[in-house]
Structure 1
Amino acid sequence: MKMGATVQTGTGTAEHGSPDLLSKLESSDMLEEVVPESRRDGSLKMTLLWVTCQATVSNMYTGYLARSAGLSLGDLVWASLIGVVVMVGYGLLATNVGTITGQPHSVLARGVLGKSGSALASLLLAVTGLGWYGFQTVFLAQLFNGLFGLTHLQLFCVLFALVMITNNLLGFRSVSGYARLAAPILLVWGAYTIIKAIASASGPNLFAAPHVQQTQGILLTVGLLVGVAVYGNEPDMFRYARRDRGRNLVPLLVGYGLGMLVFPAAGYLMAELSSASTLGATMHFFTKFSLFGLTALAVVVFTINVVAVNDANLYEAVNAVQNFLRGRRRIETILALGVIGAVVAAFMQRSSSLQANFFIVANMCAVFLPCATIVMAMDVFLLERLSGCRRPAGQDGVPRAVTSWAEASPGNAAGIVAILAGLVVGAITGGLIPGTSGFGKTNVGIPSVEAWLTTIVIYLAAMLLVRVLPSYRSKQVLLGLPAAETAGA
């Protein structure tokens, strides 16, 4: 789209009324507008989308690691149940803030966190999206290495990363459409694998601890499961969900339930039944066991799974950068981030083991962006009730107006402090500080939950404090509120 061209959002009609494919692609995601009800999907479509985002080979890898670390299947089930409870609680906040406001994560951050806070949230959004994008690409290359004995894995990582940008070029509708295609395939595969594995296992011994020294606890497994399940930019996807009484509960329960219970168990059982000592050998067994020995079918299933997940990861990073570009140059943004994702994948493949990369990326993604998302959700749902203040409402009953860069406050001081405090706690407890002895290894409790609770406590305290402050100027600085004449308070 040329700079200065007038585009009719949703139609892709250029200034002189002629159809323009590039204009359609640029305007397809309504990055600076509230998604209208006419463009929203029902519970079934959102459930299929969320199942695809959660039913991942990465969750199978978590189960494989649990068995390798000496956990019993019963331990893994407990870890999965705890993870589901944690994620449903977080998901109700994160998804509904998108559904209710209809705004992308980075644009909503502009209205809640101000210019500096929005920049911070967008940076975290880009880092987490590209971190997972790189890891998933490396993971696919490693899976293919296990099946075919590939060499030059860095080259394949780069090629896979570049190819995976295709769906994002066509916008959210292409991402969600692909997910609806992938979901039934993944569900059938996962269910068949579990049923056959349980039928093949030796009854009472199924839940016995493996004959391996235990090197990993249940809480570390919970942390990895949460890291795989959390995106942080859930508002980006669920702004396309219709408002209903269930508050997105059905997509969340089905998606997290299948993704965090069925797929980790499938990975565990494959490791148990194969008795293989390497991921490659396990994947060979997996192909024979659940995919009838058809290597071509394994390639199709694994590729569909990783591409579907990476669609969401790249979409996350693209929307972050688009926040700075005011929704312009989307195609160039996707291409540029695809190249950066390829570089990240090549670096990961060369620098560390797959397990080390997984630990770091999972803990990083569970902490970084969700802290910002939680502040935004608390602001949308609790600000007026706790602080007595409110932000400008949008049109047609939308609770929040879209805030432009020019109208945004300099920053929400309390929100930024709450986010940074959560990041510090998560980094310390999750082994995310480079150069320290615990980097990539330390895990204290559930780092994500500890980081989120830190963020919640600080922002709650700030909203309660604002209620007793006499000066509106003080309130404005502390919470990044609009000017007095537009505040509506």
Structure 2
Amino acid sequence: MALPQADNDYPLSEVPDDARKPFASLALLLLGFTFFTATMFAGGQLGAAFPLGELLALIGVGNLLLGIYAAAIACIAARSGLSTALMSRFALGEHGSALADLLLGVTQVGWYAWGVATIANVLVSTLGLTPDWAAPLMVLFGFGFCLTAFVGYRGLALLSNVAVPAMALLIAISMIIAWHDGGGWVGLSAIAPSASLGWAAGITIIFGTFVSGATQASNWNRFARTPRQAITATLLAFFIGNGLMVLIGAVGAFVYQQPDVVEVLILQGLTVIGLAMLFLNLWTTQDNTIYNFAAAGCNLLRTRQRGWVTLGGAATGTLLALAGMDALLVPFLIALGTCIPPLGGVIIADYVFLRRGHYPRLDDAMLPAFHLPGLSAYALATLGAWFSPWVPPLVGIALALALYPLCCRCLGQRSMKPAL
């Protein structure tokens, strides 16, 4: 079978104005990215620990913080036309940006392996197949899910245009049934928490589950026609969309002791719909995930062959899934997620405090091999986040924003005003 034609998608340069995309396309693509099974499991943890009224407030606060962080990076991406990996050249230096590429690339290919293993194992279990089916299914979905990412933004958008409305309809059907089964607002409000969590831990779960994705949403927001469109689409996805996923997981845990909407649909007697939901849910996240890997990989290798880097990432993720490493990867990836928010904080601080809201063209920029203020601020902020007992991702971002100007001053780096 011949591969579809891969679009360039500007892996090593700014997205030009004539390649920018309409708002609806961007919003649906980002919503497809945030419709993620793991987020529902996070909601299940919260649903077991908070009464309904407090849970809704917690979901609102946690996802608003996540949305604001993602929107800040989205605004920079729309104004500059650059991905997170390319922004990191300014923040960390030409060679220093390899650190960002490795962090972002390893995280994304790891989550890709988890998704490939998840769909194969669920299908084997639900359909009553023998365990021997797991490996060929992993290969099938490992390379199948990456085809839309291989094409590029165009392929991602085409899938999201179909999948997001379909998933919204399936979720609505399931939640209406769950609301009825749970006794409505009165019945759900009467359910007493069975676990104990504080607000700090709750916000950490909400914010930490998708903060790595929020850091890399610039890979699509660089296609926005205006910063306002990028900010609006990002808030729609990360505040509303991600918040909805957390709430769905919580309601499923309340009513059925099962946070995953796919399992809930099966318990509701809608097995075929549940499997369709699983397929769409994972595909719209998996292709975005491996697209993120390609963005980081192209910057690391300094290659414009984005399509082939995408295939290489899919092959790596499939091999990890076949090796049974998905169970071991998740704790590692969550830990690695603590290291990514400070990178976003350094990028924002570099753009605001040093670049004064303006990047020169990447081809014209005279960048050092290693930008010591950015690397120093990143290292200190990551250490602070790692040892913080309170919301490590937020602590990492806040420390990066505070430390970057200090590191610039201590290391003699002056702000760079744009030429008039």
TM-score range, shorter chain: 0.7 to 0.9
Q: Is the 8 A contact 2:46 2:55 kept in 1?
A: yes
2-side partners of 1:178 and 1:222: how far apart?
Answer: 31
Counterpart residue number, 1:419: 378
Judged with a 3 Å threshold, the aligned counterparts in structure 2 of structure 1 residues 70 and 360 are, in CA distance, closer, same or farther, namely farther
Deviation string 1:430-475 (CA, Å, 9 cap, x unpaired) is xxxxxxxxxxxxxx32110011111111113234x27xx8xxxx42
Which residue identity is paired with 2:351? V
Report how many aligned residue pairs link the two structures.
414
Deviation string 1:139-187 (CA, Å, 9 cap, x unpaired) is 3334435523553586244543232221122122212221222111122
2-side partners of 1:315 and 1:35: how far apart?
Answer: 16
Which residue identity is paired with 1:263? M
Q: Is the 8 A contact 1:110 1:403 kept in 2?
A: no
Which residue identity is paired with 2:336? M
2-side partners of 1:344 and 1:425: how far apart?
Answer: 31
1-side partners of 2:167 and 2:326: how far apart?
Answer: 30
Q: Does 1:340 align with 2:316?
A: yes
Which residue identity is paired with 2:203? V
Which residue identity is paired with 2:35? A
2-side partners of 1:205 and 1:297: how far apart?
Answer: 26
Counterpart residue number, 2:349: 378
Counterpart residue number, 2:401: 456
1-side partners of 2:105 and 2:39: how far apart?
Answer: 22
Judged with a 3 Å threshold, the aligned counterparts in structure 2 of structure 1 residues 372 and 298 are, in CA distance, closer, same or farther, namely same
Q: Is the 8 A contact 2:78 2:223 kept in 1?
A: yes
2-side partners of 1:211 and 1:108: how far apart?
Answer: 44
Counterpart residue number, 1:257: 239
Judged with a 3 Å threshold, the aligned counterparts in structure 2 of structure 1 residues 171 and 404 are, in CA distance, closer, same or farther, namely farther
Counterpart residue number, 1:438: none
Q: Does 1:54 align with 2:34?
A: yes
Q: Is the 8 A contact 1:115 1:410 kept in 2?
A: yes
Greater relative contact order structure (CA < 8 Å, 6+ sep): 2
Out of 22, 35, 45, the position equivalent to 2:25 is 45
- What's the secondary structure of 2:351's corresponding residue? helix
Which residue identity is paired with 1:103? L
- What's the secondary structure of 1:115's corresponding residue? coil
Counterpart residue number, 1:325: 301
2-side partners of 1:229 and 1:157: how far apart?
Answer: 24
2-side partners of 1:120 and 1:113: how far apart?
Answer: 8
Q: Does 1:447 align with 2:392?
A: yes
Q: Is the 8 A contact 1:73 1:265 kept in 2?
A: no
Q: Is the 8 A contact 2:36 2:281 kept in 1?
A: yes
Q: Is the 8 A contact 1:98 1:104 kept in 2?
A: yes
Judged with a 3 Å threshold, the aligned counterparts in structure 2 of structure 1 residues 139 and 62 are, in CA distance, closer, same or farther, namely farther
Q: CA deviation at 1:415?
A: 0.6
1-side partners of 2:335 and 2:50: how far apart?
Answer: 20
Larger radius of gyration: 1
Counterpart residue number, 1:163: 144
Counterpart residue number, 1:401: 361
Judged with a 3 Å threshold, the aligned counterparts in structure 2 of structure 1 residues 236 and 415 are, in CA distance, closer, same or farther, namely same
Counterpart residue number, 1:139: 118
Deviation string 1:416-439 (CA, Å, 9 cap, x unpaired) is 11112222233334xxxxxxxxxx
Judged with a 3 Å threshold, the aligned counterparts in structure 2 of structure 1 residues 126 and 275 are, in CA distance, closer, same or farther, namely closer
1-side partners of 2:4 and 2:177: how far apart?
Answer: 49
TM norm structure 2? 0.86
Q: CA deviation at 1:345?
A: 2.8
Q: Is the 8 A contact 1:422 1:452 kept in 2?
A: yes
Taking the TM superposition and a 5 Å limit, the aligned residue runs for 1:75-224 are 75-149=54-128, 151=131, 155=135, 156-202=137-183, 203-210=185-192, 212=194, 214-224=195-205
TM norm structure 1? 0.75
Judged with a 3 Å threshold, the aligned counterparts in structure 2 of structure 1 residues 349 and 256 are, in CA distance, closer, same or farther, namely same
Q: Is the 8 A contact 2:8 2:304 kept in 1?
A: no
Counterpart residue number, 1:267: 249
Judged with a 3 Å threshold, the aligned counterparts in structure 2 of structure 1 residues 361 and 48 are, in CA distance, closer, same or farther, namely same
Counterpart residue number, 1:65: 45
Counterpart residue number, 2:280: 304
Q: Is the 8 A contact 2:92 2:375 kept in 1?
A: yes
Q: CA deviation at 1:283?
A: 4.8
Judged with a 3 Å threshold, the aligned counterparts in structure 2 of structure 1 residues 189 and 400 are, in CA distance, closer, same or farther, namely farther
State the identity as a percent: 20
Q: CA deviation at 1:48?
A: 1.1
Deviation string 1:124-144 (CA, Å, 9 cap, x unpaired) is 111221122122223333443
Deviation string 1:254-300 (CA, Å, 9 cap, x unpaired) is 21233333222222222322246xx79x85542253xxx34233222
Q: Is the 8 A contact 1:162 1:339 kept in 2?
A: yes
Judged with a 3 Å threshold, the aligned counterparts in structure 2 of structure 1 residues 267 and 34 are, in CA distance, closer, same or farther, namely same
1-side partners of 2:193 and 2:350: how far apart?
Answer: 49
Gaps of 5+ in 2: none
Q: Is the 8 A contact 2:105 2:292 kept in 1?
A: yes
Q: Is the 8 A contact 2:113 2:321 kept in 1?
A: yes
Greater shift in the superposed pair: 246-255 or 412-421? 246-255
Which residue identity is paired with 1:408? L
Q: CA deviation at 1:120?
A: 1.0
Q: CA deviation at 1:242?
A: 0.8
Which residue identity is paired with 1:235? S
Deviation string 1:229-268 (CA, Å, 9 cap, x unpaired) is 3312122110001115x35332123212333332222222
Which residue identity is paired with 1:64? G
Which residue identity is paired with 1:45? S
Judged with a 3 Å threshold, the aligned counterparts in structure 2 of structure 1 residues 329 and 242 are, in CA distance, closer, same or farther, namely closer
